[in-house]
Amino acid sequence: MRFTGLSAFPITPAEPDGRVDLPALRRLVARLCEAGVDSVGLLGSTGSYPYLTREERRRALDAALDEAGGRVPVMVGVGALRTDEAVRLAQDARAAGAAAGLLAAVSYTPLTDDEVFEHFSAVARESGLSLCLYDNPSTTHFRFGPELIGRVSRLPGIVAVKSPGQEPQAVAGHLAGLRAVVPHDVSLGYSGDWTTTETLIAGADAWYSVVAGLFPQVALDIVRAVQRGDAAEARRLDARLAPLWALFREYSSLRVMFVCADLLDLCHAAPPRPILPLGEEARQRVAEVIRALDLR
């Protein structure tokens, strides 16, 4: 499986006790499949994976895979503090039929490069699941250097790298640095919605997108513009979304997406505690932006 194009990452609607709202999750996944995204990224950071038990993660994956029905490949978060738990989650994902697992270096005690390498090696070897290396220092507080990415990406079963967004002036250099150390058959993708248009134009293989988890068409329009060589149109579409990107940066994309899902009547869940839902003033700002951009 080679991950390219648009990978859409939905929120995971759940009750206050952490039980996933499966009908609501199915609605979100169906929306993505109908739009024609290239893959679904279930239980990513936007999908609140660290806040869910193994049982709930499996319930969510089974429902998403059933709803996708083979139309769209599903990558699922398998990160955990303990290596043995990450192995079990990856084994669950493989048994359920996920296309790949998204594995981050989740930690409490700061990890060394060798510890992270051994973690990835064990999960890949003992699960047999294809894996995407997930570099997300804003949540894990571990940053992958190029040398470590090169080491991990050469492990059997590593099929993709998901890197954090880069400032426009750094995109070309970052991508070139990864291409120099990562095998050619491992795809290189980026998150950070407000920065990703430039990474796609620079030659990245995939956009791992938060906004696409609710509004797949606006992200697909950007991706398809880049794929047909129309960088000017991609940049125009990206610039149009600047008010939404500003909300993402101010409040976090996760909090904003929960409000959007509520406003669109797709689900009425709140983020997992201790994350608090946005207050009324912020909700009004989100409502004004999605109304002005005609997002639905």
With vertex at residue 161, the alpha carbon angle to CA 86 and CA 211, rounded to the nearest 5 degrees, is 90
How far is it, in rounded angstroms, from Cα 138 to Cα 141?
6
Please name which of 108, 138, 103 lies closest in space to residue 118, comparing C-alpha atoms.
Answer: 103
State residue 222's pLDDT score.
98
Among left, alpha and beta (phi > 0; psi -120 to 50; other), residue 171 is alpha
C-alpha distances in angstroms, 37 versus 16, 40, 50, 244? Answer: 30, 7, 25, 20
State residue 167's pLDDT score.
92
State residue 1's pLDDT score.
79
Write out the H or E segment, with its range, that includes residue 262: helix 253-263
- Span 191-240, pLDDT tens digits: 999 999 999 999 999 999 999 999 999 999 999 999 999 999 999 999 99
For 38, what's the count of Cα atoms within 13 Å in the CB-facing half-sphere?
Answer: 19
Kindly list the catalytic residues.
134, 162
State residue 59's pLDDT score.
98
Among left, alpha and beta (phi > 0; psi -120 to 50; other), residue 287 is alpha
Contact indicator for 106, 145 with CB cutoff of 8 Å: no
Q: What is the pTM assigned to this prediction?
A: 0.96
| Low-confidence residues in the chain, pLDDT < 70 | none
High-pLDDT (> 70) share of the chain, %: 100
